[in-house]
Amino acid sequence: MPITIKDVKTILIQPLESDYQPTTHIIVKVITSEPGLYGIGCATFTQRFHAVKTAIDEHLTPLVIGRDVSRIEDIFQMSMVNSYWRNGPVLNNAISGIDQALWDIKGKMAGMPVYDLLGGKCREAAACYSHAGGDTKEACLESVQEKMAAGYSHVRVQMGGYGGKAEVLKKTENAQDGAYYNPKEYMRRHVEMFHYLRENLGFEVELLHDIHERLSPIDTINYAKDLEDVKLFFLEDALAPEDIAWFRQLRNQCATPLSMGELFNNPLEWRTLVQERLIDFMRMHVSQMGGISPARHAVSFAQAYNVRTAWHGPPDTSAVGHAANLHLDLWAPNFGIQEWCEFPELIYEMFPGLPEVRDGYMYANDKPGLGIDINEELAAKYPAEKNYEIKWTQTRLPDGSLARP
C-alpha cells in the first residue's frame, strides 16, 4: 500500500520584527498515513499571508489528501494547472509549501538528504553573502569591515536602505504619506560610496548591491556603467519584471555582472534572460516559483547557458525555505552564491536543524530530508495575529507619484 497524504497543516508565525513591518512566515506541514512521518515546507509570502493560507486550506488540501506522497512531480504539475489560471504569487507559494514538504518526506523515506535525491553534492558548503549598510559612506565601510571580520568574503551594501535616505527631498504641497526617495541623489551618493569602499578595502572583498528596481531603465544603464570600475560581484534587480526587455540594452553597454529574479513567478520571465545570456545570476524566490520541483528544472535549464544561481534569501524567507535553498545550492553544478539573513538564536531554537554559517559558508547537516524541523510549542508563542499596513512598498518619488519598491 502506498503512503498517502493524510492532512495538511498551515502554521503562521511572526517571530521577527523588522524596521518596516512584522515578518510573517508560513510553514506547511504535510502529515502522512504512516504514523510519525511528516514533512515541512515554506510557503512564505509575508505581504499576503492570509491569502496563501486560504489557498492551502480551502483549495490545495482537499485536492492532495489521499494522494501518494511519492508522486511529487505529478502533484506539483496537477496543483499548478488544476486552478486553470496559474503562476501567481499566492498560488505558487501555496504549492511550494506542499512541494517542499513532499521532498522532505521523500528524503526521510529514503534515509537521504534532499541534495542526495537531487544527484548528490557538488560542493561541501555554499558560499554566502551577508548584508552591510549605514547612513554614511563611513558607516558603510565600518559595517563591511565587521562582516569581513566575521568571515564573509561577499557583502551586499546599501546606504540608507533601498533607494537611500535622501539628504535633499523637495516634496510637493499636500504630499501623501509614503517611503519617499530621490533617484538621482541615490545614484550619486552610492557611486561615491562604492568608490570610497574600494579606496579603503581594495578588491579582495566581493561587493554586491541591490537597486531593488527603483530606477528608470535609462538611469539604470547609466548607474551600472558608473559602477563598472568598482567591479561588483553583481548588481541585483536592476530592472522591474515589466522592463526586462531593457536588459538587452543594459548588457550591450555595460560589463557589470547582473542578477535578477526575486519577483519572478512565471518561467517565461526568466527563460529569455537565460537563453540570451542577459543575466549572470538567477535569484528567484524558491517558494514564489512553486518550490523545489520547478527550481531544480530552472537550475538544469540555466546550466546550459552558464548562468549561475543566487536564490533569494531574506528574513522573509522562513528557516525551512533557507534549508531548501541550501539543498539546491549543494547539488547545483552552476551554483553561484547564496543570500543569507543571519537569523537570531530564537529561530535556531524554533527550527532545529537550521543550516549554520561558518566563516562565510553555509553547511547542511546530514539528516534525511531537508534536515530541519519545527518546534510547534515554541512557534505557537509567536502567532501571526497582527494585521499591518505595509509601508515600505508605498514608495514615492519627490513629486508624490508612486514608484516600484
pLDDT (average), residues 242-250: 95
pLDDT in tens, 342-382: 999 999 999 999 999 999 999 999 999 999 999 999 999 99
- Asked if residue 197 and residue 95 are part of one domain, the reply reads no
Residue 162 annotated among the catalytic residues of the structure: yes
If asked whether residues 103 and 137 sit together in one domain, one would say no
Would residue 98 count as lying in a domain? yes
Note whether 97 and 215 are same-domain residues. no
For residue 400, tell me if it sits in a domain.
no
Same domain, 260 and 155: yes
The pTM assigned to this predicted structure is: 0.95
- Do 127 and 245 share a domain, yes or no? yes
**Is 402 contained in some domain?**
no
What is the SS3 assignment for the chain? CCCEEEEEEEEEEEEEECCCCEEEEEEEEEEECCCCCEEEEECCCHHHHHHHHHHHHHHHHHHHCCCECCCHHHHHHHHHHCCCCCCCHHHHHHHHHHHHHHHHHHHHHHCCEHHHHHCCCCCCCEEEEEEEEECCHHHHHHHHHHHHHCCCCEEEEEECCCCCCCCCCCCCCCCCCCEECCHHHHHHHHHHHHHHHHHHHCCCCEEEEECCCCCCHHHHHHHHHHCHHHCCCEEECCCCHHHHHHHHHHHHHCCCCEEECCCCCCHHHHHHHHHCCCCCEECCCCCCCCCHHHHHHHHHHHHCCCCEECCCCCCCCCHHHHHHHHHHHHHCCCECCEECCCCCHHHHHHCCCCCEEECCEEECCCCCECCCCCCHHHHCCCECCCCCCCCCCCEECCCCCECCC
Whether 28 is in a domain gets the answer: yes
Residues 135 and 58 in one domain: no
Regarding whether 193 and 161 lie in a shared domain, the answer is yes
Whether residues 69 and 105 fall in one domain: yes
Cα angle value 57/58/62 (rounded, 5°): 85
Q: Which three cell numbers stand for residue 191?
A: 557611486
Q: Is the confidence at residue 214, as pLDDT, over 80?
A: yes
Does the structure show a pLDDT above 70 at 155?
Answer: yes
Query: How many residues are listed for the chain in this entry?
Result: 405
Confidence of residue 164 (pLDDT cuts 50, 70, 90): confident
pLDDT, residue 18, reads: 65
In a domain, 49, yes or no: yes
Confidence at residue 177, expressed as pLDDT on a 0 to 100 scale: 85
Domain that residue 227 falls in: 117-369
Mean pLDDT of 106-117: 98
Same domain? For 162 and 309 the reply is yes
Would you state the pLDDT for residue 344? 94
Nearest by Cα to 7 from 42, 27, 33: 33
Predicted pLDDT of residue 17: 74
Joined grid coordinates for residue 232: 561588483
pLDDT at 405: 80
Residue 148 has pLDDT above 80, yes or no: yes
| Whether 297 is catalytic | no
Choosing from 113, 148, 173, the residue where a domain stops is: 113
pLDDT at residue 188 in the model? 95
What integer is the mean pLDDT of 257-278?
95
pLDDT of residue 173: 80
Asked if residue 345 belongs to a domain, the reply is yes
* pLDDT tier at 150, thresholds 50, 70, 90: very high
Looking at the structure, do residues 292 and 194 belong to the same domain, yes or no? yes
pLDDT at 387 over 80: no
pLDDT given for residue 22 in this prediction: 75
Grid cell listed for 85: 489560471
pLDDT in tens, 180-195: 889 999 999 999 999 9
The reply to whether 330 and 210 lie within a common domain is: yes
CATH number at residue 82: 3.30.390.10
Residue 122 domain-assigned (yes or no): yes
- Split at pLDDT 50, 70, 90, the class of 19 is low
The catalytically annotated residue of 162, 180, 181, 361 is 162
Q: For the residues 191-211, what does the mean pLDDT come to?
A: 97
Averaged pLDDT for residues 292-301: 97
Shared domain check, 90 and 10: yes
Q: What's the pLDDT at 96?
A: 98
CATH code at 325? 3.20.20.120
Is residue 137 over pLDDT 90? yes
> Which is catalytic among the residues 25, 212, 285, 322?
212
In a domain, 263, yes or no: yes
pLDDT of residue 169: 79
Any idea which of 145-149, 215-219, 324-328, 391-395 has the lowest mean pLDDT? Answer: 391-395
> What's the confidence (pLDDT) of residue 21?
67
Query: What domain count does the chain have?
Result: 2
